């Protein structure tokens, strides 16, 4: 199968290179020429040019407000698509939008797989992403060998939209864990705890989560794991979650606080940096605390 990827940014570029480096043909398109050039992938001249060359169209885009015009717009994927192609949406999207796109493409005989990804830039680089997929199982099986170039776990969640529902729920929990752990780590720093020792205890205790296991062991050494989801995109994902649970009639008590954390820190100037920098925003509000800066701790007896 010849593949093309629309969206060659932090995640799209990495996934595309995994496919290319496995020796499989892939072309890429991005509205930002500099991102496309930086990806190192063979460029397509336009969405239509890309769709005309490939069997599988991969999408790696910010959200449904971008996905819909790329797929359904005047010069979008739908206009150029042909029966038998598969479109795989690796973005974070609103499930109701996903279902509309699925129906529109189905009328042209094109399969649509909503394939939410998790694991971040590091997992994309290593080919160990998790994919939660919705749509027809047969379509997923057709593209599974391609997806396995950058994902080590691929789970069919149900019909169209189910993959993006699972992704929204996962991303909300990711945001809560990151925001809450950031608060705890700033408090630990102000209290004078040894942060590496504290993380070791957390990771053997009931407070363990993805952030304590995978983010903060790097952050306390000054490595923020740049290149992943920005603070602005994290806030967008939490807003998508809030919209979704509101439509489902499910109350959310933690969602607004999580969104407020990222919105405030983004407004402080961290929005275009990796979302892990939320800990610095909270540290600023706590008087200029940096986890890796020993001069800001007040000491355990303070």
**Positions marked catalytic:** 167
Neighbouring CB atoms inside 10 A of 196's CB total 11
- Main-chain dihedrals φ then ψ at residue 279, nearest 5 degrees: -65, -30
What is the spatial distance between Cα 251 and Cα 244, in angstroms, rounded to a whole number?
11
CA 45-50-56 angle, to 5 degrees, is 160
């Amino acid at each position: 199968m010849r593949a093309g990827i629309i969206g060659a940014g932090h995640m799209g570029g990495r996934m595309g290179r995994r496919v290319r480096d496995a020796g499989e043909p892939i072309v890429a398109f991005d509205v930002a020429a500099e991102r496309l050039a930086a990806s190192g992938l063979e460029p397509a001249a336009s969405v239509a040019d890309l769709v005309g060359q490939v069997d599988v169209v991969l999408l790696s885009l910010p959200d449904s407000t971008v996905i819909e015009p790329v797929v359904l717009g005047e010069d979008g994927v739908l206009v150029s698509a042909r029966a038998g192609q598969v479109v795989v949406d690796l973005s974070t999207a609103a499930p109701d939008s996903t279902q509309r796109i699925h129906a529109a493409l189905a009328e042209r005989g094109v399969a649509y797989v909503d394939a939410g990804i998790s694991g971040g830039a590091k997992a994309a680089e290593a080919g160990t992403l998790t994919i939660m997929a919705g749509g027809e199982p047969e379509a997923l099986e057709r593209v599974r060998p391609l997806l396995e170039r950058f994902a080590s776990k691929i789970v069919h969640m149900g019909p169209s939209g189910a993959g993006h529902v699972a992704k929204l729920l996962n991303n909300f929990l990711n945001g809560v864990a990151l925001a809450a752990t950031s608060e705890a780590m700033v408090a630990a720093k102000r209290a004078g705890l040894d942060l590496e020792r504290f993380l070791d205890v957390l990771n053997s205790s009931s407070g363990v989560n993805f952030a304590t296991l995978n983010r903060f062991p790097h952050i306390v050494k000054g490595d923020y794991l740049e290149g992943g989801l920005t603070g602005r995109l994290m806030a967008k994902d939490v807003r998508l979650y809030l919209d979704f649970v509101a439509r489902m009639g499910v109350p959310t008590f933690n969602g607004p606080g999580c969104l407020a954390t990222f919105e405030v820190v983004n407004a402080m100037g961290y929005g275009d940096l990796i979302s892990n920098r939320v800990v610095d925003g909270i540290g600023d509000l706590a008087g200029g605390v940096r986890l890796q800066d020993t001069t800001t701790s007040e000491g355990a007896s303070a």
